[in-house]
Each structure stands twice: as C-alpha cells, then as structure tokens.
Structure 1
Amino acid sequence: MRRLEGSGMRAIDPGSHGQTEQWFRRASFLLLLGRVRNCIGALSAAVCGFGLLCASAHDAHDGGERRDSDEISLVEDGQSRYRIVIAADATLPVTFAAEELQKYLAQISGAQLPVLTGASADLTICVGPDGTPPEEAYTLRSDLKDRGDDGYVMGTSGRWIVLAGNSPRATLYAVYHFLEEYLGCGWCVPGDDTVPRQATIRIPQFHDAIGPPAFSMRKIVHFVDPDADCAVTQAYGPDYIRKCVLPRIDWMAKNRFNWVHPGANGPHIWERDRLRDVLVPEVVKRGLHLEVGGHTFNTWLAPDLYAKDHPDYWTGGYVCLSHPDVAPLMAENMNKWLDENPEADVVDLWHNDGGGFCHCPKCTPVEPGADDDEARAAYTKTYIHFANQVASLVARKHPEVLVNFLAYSHVTDCPAGAERLADNVLVGLCLFPRPAQRTMRPLETSPQDLDRNLRSQIPAWQKLSKHFYIYEYYTMSDWHEAWKMVKFWSIVSMMREDIGFFRRLGVAGLSSDLWDADWCPLNMYAFGRLSWNPDLTTDQIIADYCRRYYGRAYEPMIAYWTLLEEGLRESWNTDAPVNWRDQQRVAMIEKALSQAEDARIRYRIHSTLAKHRPHWPE
C-alpha cells in the first residue's frame, strides 16, 4: 500500500494502575516458577512491561481476559513439541516473522521449532491471521478492528498461540512484541540484541490487542557522514549500507517504526553505488514503507546531464523553478525512476541544502529593496506552486506515490496567501535548528524566538496540506558547527512533551534525522516508544531501556540517565546552559562498570556513552 494512512489519531491511554499491578503479578509469577535465568535483568524488564509501554485507548487486555494460571509449556529442557505455522500463501513479511520467531526461540532455549505451512493443529504458534484456529477467527477479527494497519493481537487459546496483525508488517511487530514481553528480549541498540538464555520456557495464558499507534508515520532518515567510521568505502556504498544501515532497519522493525528513508543527497540515488539490491530487499521483507531521496533538485535535474545544453535551467547556480521546462523535466525523470523502483511509496522533491535559491523576477517576485523575509516568502510560494506542478505530473503515472515537499531552512515559514498543496504532496516541517539553541525546551511553552516561530508553523502548514509530518533532530549531529558547542546528550523529557503536543495538534507523522556517528541510543529508543504512546513517562522509558540493556548494572545506569534528564529539565527555567553534573555522573559510571557482569555489558556502557567524553572513565 503506497498511500499514507489517514491522519485521524485515536487517544492513547497511559498505563493504568491495574495494568501495573498485572505486570508485577506476572513478574512474581515468573520468579516463583524459576523460568528465567539471569532473572534480575529479564524480570526487571517484565516489571516495566512492554505491554504497558504500548497500551492504547483499546486497552491491551480488552480482547479477552488474562488468565495467569494454566501456563503453556513452550520449551522443556531445550525441546519443544510446538510448531510455527503460516499460511501456504503467506506474504514475505509474514514468512520472515515466522523465521525470526524460530531464530530467537532457538537462541533462547536451543529448541528448533519447525516452520510449516497449511492447516494448523494443536501445539501451534500461528503467525499471521490466516492460520488462526477457526474458533478464534471471529475474536481475532473483532480484536483487530479499528486498530489501523499497524495494529496486532497476541494471544493464547488453550495450547495455541496466535501472533497476527492487520498487515504483514504488523504481524512482524506481534512476533517481536511477544519475544520482548514474554521472553525477556530487548531491542535497545541496532545490532546488539538482548536475548536471555533459558532451556525451559513457560508462559501464562494471555490475550493482548495493541494499536493503533499515536502516529501513523514513524520514520527515520538515514544520512551519512563521510568522515565517520561507518563510511567504510564511500558515502552510501554497499559496504556502508550492510555495516550501518541494515542493522538500523532491523532495529526499526523491532521497535515498530514503519518508514525507512535513505537520503542519498546526490545526482544518482541507486546507480552510483549499486544500493538497490542491498537495501530494498531488507525493507520489503519487513513490510516497511520506503521513502527515497533527500535533497534532490540535483537528482531530478542533474547538472552533469543538462547544464551544458541548458544553462538557463539555473540562475546564479540555483535551479530556476519558474522555467517552463524544469517542472515537466523533473517529473519525467521522477516517473522514470519510479517505473524502475515500484517499492517506493514517497519520493522527495527537497530543495538543495545550503539555503540559497533562485532570485530571478519570476521565482522571487518582490519589489526592489524588499527584505529577506519578503524574498523568502515570495520564493516559498513559487516552491509550493512548483511542487504542485511536479506532483500533478507524477500523479498521472503513479497515483499512489506521494511527493515530499520539505519546509526547511529558507522555506520553513508558511507564506500568507499560498496555494494549497496537492493531495499527493506530503509536507514535512523541519524543526531546524532547534538543537543549536542554548537550551532545549518543550516547543509548546518555550519562550525562545525560534521555538515560538516553529510552533506557529505547524498549524499553518497543516491547513495547506492533506499529508503532514514533523521532521525532528533527535540525534544531535556534530556536523552542524553550533551543535558542537551545545551538547544535549539526553532529551527524552523534551521529546515526551513535544510528541504529546504534536498529537494534540493532530499531527500524523514523526521523523528524525540520523547521521553515522550520532546514534543517541536512549533518544532513539524513546522516539520509538513515544511515537506509539506519548503518555509514557520519562522514568518509565529510562527504566525499561536500562533494565533491558545494562544487565546487573541497570540501577546505576538508571540513575545516570535520570540525572541527565534532571539537568535538562532544570535548564527550562534558566538561560544558563545545561548543568550535566559531570562529577556525579562519573561516579555512577564507575559504579555501573563495577557491577557489570561481563565484558559485553561493560562494552555497552562504554559504547553508549562514548559521546560523553571526557567525563567518564576508561
């Protein structure tokens, strides 16, 4: 399905006291049975309860009563009589979901459960709705109703286990959620899963219905820093994709993001670096949406192809959007690319980066002596009209594809009297450059001039567009000179306030920029959780992350991240830079390293906090 889901969002209900009680009961139940080895980390994760983190207005337990007696013996001493069953005509993501379940059950217990197709029998894990027991089919349909494309159900019926979603992608979510909630797995950092080891797996009867998420679009933009370690051959080369981007795509699916967005920022998207065969299959087999491009004026109007014969396409080095040939030519090249890449759901028509634009009288129609604001407003109207021209031509051949218009830099502000964007245009508003400010405050209440202006732009662009999302910067890249001077290592408290604000405004989509060296693990983990449920607290997110990732060292690491967040929140009431409490944090890291049970946990502590040097010990 190419087209975006509707923007109508359902309210998300925070974890209730009753749900919290159930999670503590489950943790106690697991402990008494002695089913989990390394119980401190795994049971603490159970106490946090991923079901609590994902609870929606359709309560996680509204599809059926939870019965904590009558446990299911899934694996005994490394052996299992269960089989995994999918439909004979299962889609690729459903097949992959079954394979992932098989893989992780083997890693946890050593048991090799077969994946079978066709009719189900007793002692079966049904992956996907088509293999559901007949007596459960009506209940499943009822549970999945009104939960959106990403909604899913996990449940038991006697000795059956059902993991099924409203889409193939949602079925994969159900598998990862089951592994996380009931078996103690964790997906905190790309390429570094937490997988407990236990030869015997017993689970209680359960029935959880999840969804819809608060935001129908949950996206990460994958850029590259040519100087970073991950750029192993060349920017966006196949080796880079395999080493860096593919683990992130895997992590995204495990954390229930649904849009992958490689930003090539160059004249050739696939051809230059032979990326299609490396990247696209990994997106497709997870059922994720694909957006491609980045800053693409030079992609759809490549200077090396057109500048010699048509120098008039550019004025002062910038693409002339009012030239009568430019919009049709860009649309033609875009359509050719879409013919060859039918997997793309969205294609970008972003301005080239850098802030410059064509000042010819047609692109920027202003009176002599007009100030910069007037020039930018006039040009933004031209950009809107140009985007509509291109989108109209794309719609004739690819009606299900959206064209992404980016309100960014010199075209951030929505001009008065602008024409409405076409229905096949997706508008992204960049909240740039918020991380370069002295303090990072919640957008809704911030008195800072930049924040106040950006706050006003959200409803303005929403009124002009059918499809709209927020483009954020949760990874604090070093490439921006101002960001090197102002570090915000942990901004979960601000993210929580902002994402709740975006939901109240009816925003349907969230996206974050990402550069090689700037993966901020807790911020990105929080992004995934909050984009499903903005009512989670900062403390809940920190505790869940630390208990899943830091093993026996989780307590000092909870204290560490909590201290960072306290410093951030204090800065909201002062003009001074954030006090990150360096000496206190050093003591907490030393304690965490002393409590780490093995080299892997020590590595996690070091690698996660590598950006915080020189304020923590070797």
Structure 2
Amino acid sequence: MKNITFYKDGKSNFVIIQPQSPTLQEEDAVQLLKEEIQKVCSIILPVQSDNTALQHHEIIIGNCPNRNTVFSSTIPLAHDEFYLFNKDSKIYINGNGRGLILGVSYFLENYLKVKKLTVTGRDSVAPEEHYNIKPLYEVYITKFSFNIQKPAFSYRWVVSQEAYSKNYSNFNKLSYWDIEQGQPAELEDSGESVHNLTRLFGYDTHYSTNPEYYPQINGNRTAELMTFYQCHRAPCLSQNGVFEIVKSALQAKMNAKPDKHIWNLSQPDGMTDYCQCSECAPKHAQSGGFSNTLFPFINRMAKEFPDKIIKTLSYVVSDNVHTVETEYPGGGTLQAGKVESNVMIMYCPTINNKIRSIASSNEPIAVAYRNALTKWSQSGGKLYIWEYLVNFAYFLFPFPTLHILQENLRYYKSLGINSFFAQSTSTEDSALRGLNTYAYARLLWNPDDDLEGIIADFCKNYYGNAYKEMFLFITSLLRYAQQDDSEVWESMGYTGSMIKHANPNIAVEDTTLFSIKHLKEFYSYINIALTKVPLGSTEWKAIKREEICLKQVEVEASCKYSNPKNQIDFHQGFSDYFKRFGGGNYGNTEEGMLKNRCYDLKDSCLSADSEIKINESRNATSYVTDVICGYGYQP
C-alpha cells in the first residue's frame, strides 16, 4: 500500500473537517489536532465544515454525516472508545465523548510522533508542561484499515502530577483528574470524596444528645477520634438514627448536585477499632469483622437511592467480605456476601507484598486477597481496584512494581473489574514517578502491551542521550526486585520499614534490592548517564532526581549498618563502602562520613527546582537532623 503524503516541502494538501454544528468535544479535538500539527510541522491546516464541498485530502473529525458514508450504520462505541481509518486519502477519526480526543491524540502520537511523557508542578498548583517538540520535515501516513481502540479498563486513574494535566492524560489515555475539583473531571461524576461516612454523620456533634449513636470502645460510648480535626472512627452502624442522619445528609448533597451519578459513602481513614456494643459485637466477632455492619448499612443506603451508584471502600478493617445478611426495615433480606447492584466496591490491597503478584503469589496475604476478590466479584456489585505505587513514609525509595503489573491487570480483568485507581504521590518526590505514571497509563489501556518497549520508549524520549544507561538502571531495578526476598515491600509502613531491603552481607547480596553490589551497579548507570546530557538540562535534572533517591537509600541503611553504636547490625563492609564519599567538610570519621552524606542529600533536595521532600509531611532538613541526632551526634 502506498503511503499518503501528509506534509512535505513546507506544505500540506490536507484540510480538517468538523461537523456543521460541532459539540464541545469536537471543537476541542479539532483545536488539539490543529495546534499540535502547527508545533510539529510549522503549518496551520484550514478548518472547514462538513457542509462544504468534498476535497481530496481531508481529516474528518467526529460526526460528519456528509463525509461518513463508508459505513451503512453508526458504529457503537462505549466509554472512551474511538476508531480511525483512512480511505481515498481521507482520514476519519471518531469516538465516544472524550474518546474523540483520545483518537486525535492516538493519531498524533502514532503518525506525527508527538510524545507527551511528563510534567512538573505541585499538587495544589496547575501542572507546568514541558514537552519536547521534535520538528518534522516530511510526514507520510501509512495507509491503515479500520482501527478501533477499546480500553481494557473504563476508568484508569493514577494520582500523580501528570494526571492533573489534561494534555498529558489525553495523550496517554488516562482518565483526567481536575486539579481544582480534586476528582476525575466529567468521568466518574462523583459528588463526594472518600472517607466521608463520619463527616456526613456530623463528627462528634450528636454526642451530647445521642451518645448511643457513637461507638462503644472498651465498654464506653465515645466520640474520641470522631472530630473534624481527627477522624478515625465510624459511628455505631447498628443504630437506625445514625442511618437516618447519614441518609439525610447524603440526600442534601445529591439535591445540591443533581447531575452527579456516583456518591462515595466510605469509612474514615486510619480505622483500627470499631463499635463493640451488644448489637455490633456479635457481628464484628464473625470473620467479616467491620464489614458485617458496614455493608448492610451500605446496602440499605443503595436501596434508598436506586438511581445512584453508592461507592464504598473494602479497606483494612473492611477488606473481608461480610458474613451476615442485610435486613431491610420494610421487609426482605439480602444474603451474606451480596450487595445491591448499584453498589461499587473499592478494594484496596494494602499490606500485601507489592513486588509479588496478587494473581500468583503463594504468600498467605495474597491468597487471602484472591479469595476476597473472588467473593466480591460474585457479590452482585461493581468492583474497583485501589492500588498503591509508593511507600508513604519513603517516597524517595525506589519502589519497583512494574514487573508484576501486567499479570495483576490481566487477573483483575478476568474477575470483570473495570475500574482501576493507582495512588502515587502528586509531587515530584517519588522515585521513577514519571515512568510509573506512563507505564500504568499504557498498560491500563492494554495490559498485553510490551512493558520493556514501554520502558525503552519512555527512556528514549525522556532521558535523551542517556536513555541506554537509564534503561539499564530501570530494568536492573525490576530484575533485582524479582529476586528480592527481604520480607514484604509494603506501602503503609513507617520509620524503618524500608531498611530491611538493604543488606551489606556479601553472602546473600543478590537477595535484597539494595545490596552493596546492586547499589554500585545502580550508581554506575547514573554516573555515566549524567555525563551524556548537558549539565542543568531537563534530562540532567531528571537523572539527578533518581540519584537523590539512591542517596536516601544509603543514608537510611547507614543508620543500621554503619552506626558503630549498633553492635548487633553494624557491618564494616557497608561502613567502608559508605566512606567512599568521605573527605568532605566533616572528614572521614564515622561521624564525619555520616554528616557528609546526610548534608549532601539535604543540599541535593533543597537545590532542586522544587524542593524535594522525604514524604508528604517531612522535608529533607528535618529528616537529616533526625538521622544525625539518632546517631548521638550534634547536627
């Protein structure tokens, strides 16, 4: 098949055709196509209406009945689906709603080589987009037959700064998060954020009049941990008065936002205990635990609002399926383990080993999660996965999970799961954040895509001339993560939770990701990569961020293995390795080498374009002070 000449010698014969009365989505799609072609080819294609005379070279966007005569009937498209085809030097692109934008983005990426990989910025500020535009001097479109694109998951959310960019989300086919609204824009259509049950109930405001509405803890009804400022408990869900208060509050919210279809109703975050009154305790004592009062409560609420989806969490204290019936006040029951058809269950695997696949791991927690997911998939509701991509105490620690993503996604699809939420950090302060967002976006669209090809594609377009070294660095991380058996890689651990993944013992150096052997290899890739890009360039800064992550690994591990006061874990080999950066302002003693490394980490974090933090609430300055003081030294 002969290629179509799209652009040559500074000109193009193509025009863009839009509907006679275009929708907002169609207008946006045309504008995106026009702007990106101008950036790449330095030309402005004319835009004409469907009611104009036919021309030989056209890009036909959206529903243009005068042009779309190839098919005898409308092609049915579901959420975010789109199609492309060309015939007789005409290119047709159409999609369902935002699917049209995704179709245009797909065309630009695959035929004009427009890549959009990452953004900068912070989670309360509109993201700054810095895309490398590569001018093209000739563009030929390979003739292609009908190509319909359907996402494996209808909702594909990643919490990261990239996902706050509509442009990035369009090109990488992510569901888009509206940074001002703090929720997916026009996609999920949710009227409330998560962890809102106690908020809707009214926190501690009913305690003086109705103490029975509050959980019984250690024999007493209490409103502790149920305040606006600290909310980690739910009310007593066996009390009908609690149900009526929450229902009334939810109804008021719905009345204020009648266009919203999905409504969260989920437990507070950080729950560790719950009501043990005479009605709740017998239910909570069964294997379902807190689920045995939560899900009957949710079922009753869903019954009250049959035209809405009630979305709730299966999370920590509620990750087991309920083992009690739902009894409805007006009569009738729903058997244990079942939910109303308009209930959406957000299942959150929290304490499993994140470098082992839930789909195939024989670890007890993975087996338990599979059993729960199977039961939830048979519950009659809609199932949704909420996954975690970082350790929330240590954003900077490399947290390699990509090697098990495809297997997990295929497993979730086999259960009929159609929605996926990946929680990273919306700041710059996590290792390989850009790659994680990019790879998750691609694999959520198509879990059978080539992961190694995705990583290579990212490296070539993000790290410039250093792409080979960064590709080796990343793939080595993933390979060694597969070999790591240093206990569970968890997301929710706190201080010290990541130290166990470093090991100075040469005899077992391949069993931990951060052995001395592996750290040396990682640094070798980083050091060479930094020499291959201009000092201070965007690529150089991106590589330096990954170097900073390795620096924190070393500082943290030194607390255990290089501290002579720790007589149990002190290891001379690691201490000697750590001293290779000695000779700085503080000399090469144990105290001096620690301070040299700590202050080097702090200076690196502070000198970044946006200060790099250790986690959501801790900056490098306070962290370094704590480390040095923990050694018994003065900062």
In structure 2, the partner of 1:594 is 531
Partners of 1:516 and 1:426 lie apart in 2 by 25
Change (3 A) 1:605 1:155: farther
The answer on 1:219 being equivalent to 2:157 is yes
The 8 Å contact of residues 94 and 169 in structure 1, kept in 2 or not, is answered as: no
| 1:513 CA displacement | 1.7
| 1:457 CA displacement | 0.9
The answer on 1:501 being equivalent to 2:411 is yes
Q: Counterpart of 1:283 in structure 2: which amino acid?
A: A
The 8 Å contact of residues 74 and 203 in structure 1, kept in 2 or not, is answered as: no
Partners of 1:421 and 1:187 lie apart in 2 by 41
| 1:327 CA displacement | 2.2
In structure 2, the partner of 1:154 is 84
> Size of the alignment, in residue pairs?
490
Choose the corresponding residue for 1:174, options 103, 112, 119.
Answer: 103
DSSP-derived class of the 1:365 partner: helix
Partners of 1:114 and 1:362 lie apart in 2 by 74
DSSP-derived class of the 2:311 partner: strand
Choose the corresponding residue for 2:401, options 474, 487, 491.
Answer: 491
The 8 Å contact of residues 334 and 394 in structure 1, kept in 2 or not, is answered as: no
Choose the corresponding residue for 2:381, options 457, 466, 477.
Answer: 466
| 1:468 CA displacement | 0.6
The 8 Å contact of residues 483 and 512 in structure 2, kept in 1 or not, is answered as: no
Q: Counterpart of 2:321 in structure 1: which amino acid?
A: C
Change (3 A) 1:332 1:595: same
Deviations 1:562-593 (A, max 9, x none): 11111111226999432472211222122222
Change (3 A) 1:447 1:70: closer
The 8 Å contact of residues 75 and 109 in structure 1, kept in 2 or not, is answered as: no
Q: Return 245-254 or 402-411, whichever deviates more.
A: 245-254
DSSP-derived class of the 2:140 partner: strand
Change (3 A) 1:379 1:70: closer
In structure 1, the partner of 2:275 is 359
Partners of 1:246 and 1:528 lie apart in 2 by 9
Change (3 A) 1:195 1:347: farther
| 1:306 CA displacement | 4.9
In structure 2, the partner of 1:72 is 5
Deviations 1:499-556 (A, max 9, x none): 1222233322221123333552222222112122222343122112212322332222
| 1:429 CA displacement | 0.9
Q: Counterpart of 2:392 in structure 1: which amino acid?
A: D
Partners of 1:559 and 1:543 lie apart in 2 by 10
Choose the corresponding residue for 2:36, options 79, 100, 104.
Answer: 104
The 8 Å contact of residues 152 and 174 in structure 1, kept in 2 or not, is answered as: yes
The 8 Å contact of residues 186 and 549 in structure 1, kept in 2 or not, is answered as: no
The 8 Å contact of residues 366 and 378 in structure 1, kept in 2 or not, is answered as: no
In structure 1, the partner of 2:569 is none
In structure 1, the partner of 2:442 is 529
DSSP-derived class of the 1:464 partner: coil
Change (3 A) 1:307 1:516: farther
DSSP-derived class of the 1:511 partner: strand
Partners of 1:444 and 1:202 lie apart in 2 by 43
Q: Return 541-550 or 173-182, whichever deviates more.
A: 541-550
Partners of 1:362 and 1:154 lie apart in 2 by 62
Q: Return 511-520 or 98-107, whichever deviates more.
A: 511-520
Choose the corresponding residue for 2:202, options 282, 291, 302.
Answer: 302
In structure 2, the partner of 1:478 is 392
Mind listing any 5+ residue stretches in structure 2 that lack a counterpart? 120-128, 216-221, 224-233, 325-335, 489-510, 555-599, 605-635
The 8 Å contact of residues 188 and 262 in structure 2, kept in 1 or not, is answered as: no
In structure 2, the partner of 1:163 is 93
The answer on 1:203 being equivalent to 2:141 is yes
In structure 2, the partner of 1:409 is 316
Q: Counterpart of 1:87 in structure 2: which amino acid?
A: P
The 8 Å contact of residues 214 and 531 in structure 1, kept in 2 or not, is answered as: yes
The answer on 1:452 being equivalent to 2:370 is no
In structure 2, the partner of 1:320 is 236
Structure with the largest fraction of helix? 1
In structure 2, the partner of 1:183 is 112
Q: Return 569-578 or 192-201, whichever deviates more.
A: 569-578
Q: How does 1:199-348 map to 2 (within 5 A)?
A: 199-220=137-158, 244=161, 247-258=164-175, 260=177, 275-276=180-181, 283-284=185-186, 290=190, 292-303=192-203, 306=206, 310-315=210-215, 316-317=222-223, 318-348=234-264
Q: Return 407-416 or 548-557, whichever deviates more.
A: 548-557
Q: TM-score, normalised by structure 1?
A: 0.71
DSSP-derived class of the 1:181 partner: helix
The answer on 1:585 being equivalent to 2:585 is no
Change (3 A) 1:394 1:331: farther
The 8 Å contact of residues 490 and 522 in structure 1, kept in 2 or not, is answered as: no
Change (3 A) 1:245 1:443: closer
DSSP-derived class of the 2:64 partner: helix
Q: Counterpart of 2:213 in structure 1: which amino acid?
A: Y
The 8 Å contact of residues 84 and 92 in structure 2, kept in 1 or not, is answered as: yes
The 8 Å contact of residues 307 and 313 in structure 1, kept in 2 or not, is answered as: yes
Q: Return 558-567 or 540-549, whichever deviates more.
A: 540-549
The answer on 1:383 being equivalent to 2:285 is no
| 1:337 CA displacement | 2.1
Partners of 1:573 and 1:358 lie apart in 2 by 33
Q: Return 305-314 or 97-106, whichever deviates more.
A: 305-314
Q: Counterpart of 1:295 in structure 2: which amino acid?
A: H
Q: Return 491-500 or 591-600, whichever deviates more.
A: 591-600
The 8 Å contact of residues 118 and 162 in structure 2, kept in 1 or not, is answered as: no
Choose the corresponding residue for 1:374, options 277, 285, 290.
Answer: 285
Partners of 2:9 and 2:520 lie apart in 1 by 48
The 8 Å contact of residues 469 and 525 in structure 2, kept in 1 or not, is answered as: yes
Partners of 1:83 and 1:452 lie apart in 2 by 57
The answer on 1:128 being equivalent to 2:62 is yes
In structure 1, the partner of 2:541 is 603
DSSP-derived class of the 1:366 partner: helix
Partners of 2:191 and 2:401 lie apart in 1 by 27
The 8 Å contact of residues 128 and 168 in structure 1, kept in 2 or not, is answered as: no
Identity of aligned residues (%): 19
Change (3 A) 1:564 1:246: closer
Q: Counterpart of 1:455 in structure 2: which amino acid?
A: R
The 8 Å contact of residues 178 and 185 in structure 2, kept in 1 or not, is answered as: no
Partners of 1:574 and 1:352 lie apart in 2 by 29
Q: Counterpart of 1:407 in structure 2: which amino acid?
A: S
The 8 Å contact of residues 331 and 391 in structure 1, kept in 2 or not, is answered as: no
Partners of 2:468 and 2:154 lie apart in 1 by 34
Partners of 1:488 and 1:202 lie apart in 2 by 41
In structure 2, the partner of 1:570 is 483
The 8 Å contact of residues 428 and 469 in structure 1, kept in 2 or not, is answered as: yes
| 1:359 CA displacement | 1.5
Choose the corresponding residue for 2:356, options 429, 441, 450.
Answer: 441
Change (3 A) 1:90 1:323: farther
Change (3 A) 1:536 1:159: closer
Q: Counterpart of 1:458 in structure 2: which amino acid?
A: L
Partners of 1:358 and 1:341 lie apart in 2 by 31
Q: How does 1:419-430 map to 2 (within 5 A)?
A: 419-430=337-348
Q: TM-score, normalised by structure 2?
A: 0.69
Q: Counterpart of 1:106 in structure 2: which amino acid?
A: Q
